[in-house]
């Protein structure tokens, strides 16, 4: 988050872990790939809770959630002057807490692009708790939010209410992303922009299997059809080990534009400590750059 925003802080990282502050919570969670030593080992003793295991979904919270997190944290996200939204944070069994702070720059970009395209129709796939949906909606876009998990869609709707966007033009869809896009193509529906943050692996509400290596390119081709070859903006992010920004950009180029057109902007999603140490937390590709 911005340096003048006290709500979030990356305190330290190392040995495959990261130490973060969300308001009053100081959390010790997995950070795969960070094998160097932490800079300030003494600070880790201040953790409110630790999510055990080397990766999200592979551990448990210690102490148990009920002993330290009886209520959710109200997390403000500032996009620009007088433009913001809010997200409820609470610890989930997967080790996530409802927000990815490294996405702030992308949320600001989404709002900027949405303002440039009045009444834009935006499709947000793998929408999770709604950060990208709210960034587009608060900037005036009409958004279709799709996620396979009913609980995550419910949480995203809560965040819309908290952000004063309960009456915003948002459709909330519990569905497998690929199946939804296939149906939208058959219905003849179109969108101005698409946002995707796919997992490495996943399951749809009816047991559909997802693998990013196998399924991302066909899904992007469907997205290209839904934008009729004339996208206003596209954002693709991922947190998949071994998939770099250049590879993500190539997927986006091939899936949407073939080998023609302006290449997407791409880069890493980073978090920084107060000492400017960078923790790589994902990759992005977006168009226009």
**Position 60 pLDDT exceeds 90:** yes
Mean per-residue pLDDT of the chain? 93
pLDDT at 273: 96
Q: What is the residue extent of each domain of the chain?
A: 8-67, 73-287
231-270: per-residue pLDDT in tens? 999 999 999 988 999 999 999 998 887 755 678 999 999 9
pLDDT at 287: 95
DSSP 140-209: T-EEEEEES-HHHHHHHHHHHHHTT-TTSSEEEEES-HHHHHHHHHHHT---SEEEE---SEEE-TT--E
Distance CA 158, CA 130 (A): 9
133-167: per-residue pLDDT in tens? 999 999 999 999 999 999 999 999 999 999 999 99
Nearest alpha carbon to residue 125 among 190, 195, 172: 195
Phi, psi of 127 (to 5 degrees): -70, -15
* 215 three-state secondary structure: helix
pLDDT at 5: 43
202-236: per-residue pLDDT in tens? 999 988 999 999 999 999 999 999 999 899 999 99
Nearest alpha carbon to residue 231 among 239, 240, 221: 221
* β-bridge pairing 209-211 and 170-174: unpaired
Crossing angle of helices 212-226 and 245-252, rounded to 10°: 40
Q: Which CATH architecture has domain 8-67?
A: Sandwich (2.60)
Mean pLDDT, to the nearest integer, of 102-109?
97
DSSP state of 264: P
pLDDT at 259: 58
* β-bridge pairing 49-51 and 25-30: parallel
Residue 120's pLDDT band (boundaries 50, 70, 90)?
A: very high
Helical segments of the chain, H only = 104-116, 131-137, 150-162, 177-187, 212-226, 245-252
Best CATH choice for the domain 73-287 from the list 3.30.70.1250, 3.30.230.10, 3.20.20.70, 3.40.50.150: 3.40.50.150
* 121 three-state secondary structure: strand
pLDDT at 1: 39
**Position 4 pLDDT exceeds 60:** no
**Position 111 pLDDT exceeds 50:** yes
Using alpha carbons only, what angle is made at residue 110 by residues 108 and 113, rounded to the nearest 5 degrees? 110
Identical fold between 8-67 and 73-287: no
């Amino acid at each position: 988050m911005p340096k003048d925003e006290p709500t979030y802080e990356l305190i330290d990282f190392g040995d495959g872990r990261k130490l973060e502050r969300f308001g009053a919570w100081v959390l010790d969670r997995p950070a795969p790939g960070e094998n160097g030593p932490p800079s300030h080992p003494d600070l880790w003793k201040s953790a409110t809770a630790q999510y055990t295991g080397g990766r999200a979904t592979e551990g448990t919270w210690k102490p148990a959630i009920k002993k330290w997190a009886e209520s959710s944290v109200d997390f403000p996200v500032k996009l620009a002057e007088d433009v913001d939204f809010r997200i409820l944070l609470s610890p989930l069994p997967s080790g996530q807490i409802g927000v990815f702070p490294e996405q702030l720059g992308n949320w600001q970009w989404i709002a900027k692009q949405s303002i440039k395209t009045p009444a834009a129709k935006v499709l947000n796939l793998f929408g999770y708790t709604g950060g990208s949906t709210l960034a587009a909606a608060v900037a005036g876009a009409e958004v279709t939010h799709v996620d396979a998990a009913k609980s995550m869609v419910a949480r995203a709707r809560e965040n819309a209410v908290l952000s004063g966007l309960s009456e915003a033009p948002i459709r909330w869809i519990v569905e497998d992303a690929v199946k939804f896009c296939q149906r939208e193509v058959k219905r003849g529906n179109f969108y101005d922009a698409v946002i995707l943050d796919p997992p490495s692996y996943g399951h749809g509400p009816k047991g559909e299997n997802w693998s990013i290596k196998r399924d991302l390119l066909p899904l992007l081709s469907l997205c290209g059809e839904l934008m009729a070859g004339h996208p206003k903006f596209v954002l693709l992010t991922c947190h998949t080990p071994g998939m770099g920004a250049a590879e993500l950009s190539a997927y986006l180029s091939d899936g949407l534009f073939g080998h023609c057109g302006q290449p997407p902007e791409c880069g890493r999603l980073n978090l920084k400590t107060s000492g400017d140490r960078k923790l790589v937390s994902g990759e992005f590709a977006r168009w226009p750059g």
